[in-house]
């Protein structure tokens, strides 16, 4: 027997009709690029895993393309955070069709404690606005233990920086912050033509699965401080870029070669530098 919620959602008008009815043109100031292709949105929803328990948290649902997909793929509960009043009005028919499975919060997601929303396990599934995706992810990773997974879409260049390994060109502060708290799995690309309006860049969906505990012991603020200094002069040896911390002597106390360059260090080695910095306080 067909789930009545799924039947109600499938009977809703196409997203393009919804956008026309509510004059929901994408706003550059909000980083909006709408994804209409239900095959793609359902692929993203399926990538998030079994949605039949816990809570799916979506940021920036817009006209509700991914929101529909999450519900059609069996999400027990979706909490969507949206700051655009036009989108909130446009998505009300979906709220009614979802029969209690969809809740909309009008807010800026940067100001919301996602770890307090809904019941666990919590999964964040979102086509993040390009202009705020990175700070959102870094904020969520500070509470990584509260989430089962993050299935997120970024500009491909940003996704590559998040997933980069030591010794590669994209490895840097963002890679270290993300990999320190989570395992990262690049999933698939989405071309510009799939969006309205089409962005100038390819997007990529990646999944982050929080670790039970960070990869190595370190104070997060000190880890950020030492990685910021190291990668501020990426081409220089660490004894030069970390001169303000004590240069070669500081590096040697952490067991790091002073002539090494930052992209060659593992996350564990950066954690060792953070601990050495902590020991000097």
Q: Which residues are annotated as a binding site for S-adenosyl-L-methionine?
A: 33, 35, 60, 82, 108, 127
Distance of CA 131 to the CA centre of its chain: 12
Three-state DSSP at 111 gives helix
Binding-site positions read 33, 35, 60, 82, 108, 127
Quick check: 92 and 74 in contact, CB under 8 A? no
Residues written for the chain: 281
- Angle (CA) 186-91-95 rounded to 5° is 95
What's the chain's Rg over C-alpha atoms? 21
| CA–CA gap between residue 73 and residue 168 (Å, rounded) | 36
Q: CA 150 to CA 128: how far, in whole Å? A: 11
The tokens for 11 are: 């009977």
Do residues 48 and 115 make contact, with C-beta atoms less than 8 angstroms apart? Answer: no
């Amino acid at each position: 027997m067909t789930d009545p919620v799924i039947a109600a959602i499938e009977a809703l008008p196409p997203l393009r009709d919804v956008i026309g009815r509510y004059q929901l043109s994408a706003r550059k100031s909000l980083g909006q690029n709408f994804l209409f292709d239900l095959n793609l949105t359902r692929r993203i929803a399926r990538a998030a895993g079994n949605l039949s328990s816990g809570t799916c948290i979506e940021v920036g649902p817009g006209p509700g393309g991914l929101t529909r997909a999450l519900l059609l793929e069996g999400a027990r509960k979706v909490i969507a955070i949206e700051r655009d009043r036009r989108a909130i009005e446009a998505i009300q028919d979906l709220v009614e069709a979802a029969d209690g499975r969809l809740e909309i919060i009008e807010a800026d997601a940067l100001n919301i404690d996602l770890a307090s929303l809904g019941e666990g396990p919590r999964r964040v599934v979102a086509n993040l606005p390009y202009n705020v995706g990175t700070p959102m992810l870094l904020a969520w990773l500070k509470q990584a233990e509260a989430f089962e997974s993050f299935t997120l879409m970024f500009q491909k260049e940003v996704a590559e920086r998040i997933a980069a390994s030591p010794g590669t060109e994209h490895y840097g502060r963002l890679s270290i912050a993300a990999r320190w708290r989570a395992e990262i799995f690049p999933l698939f690309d989405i071309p510009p033509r799939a969006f309205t309006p089409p962005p100038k860049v390819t997007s990529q969906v990646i999944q982050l699965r929080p670790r039970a505990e960070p990869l190595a012991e370190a104070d997060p603020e000190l880890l950020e401080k030492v990685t910021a200094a190291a990668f501020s002069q990426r081409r220089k040896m660490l004894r030069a870029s970390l001169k303000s911390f004590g240069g070669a002597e500081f590096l040697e106390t952490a067991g790091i070669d002073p002539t090494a360059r930052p992209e060659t260090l593992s996350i564990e080695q950066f954690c060792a530098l953070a601990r050495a910095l902590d020991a000097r306080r």
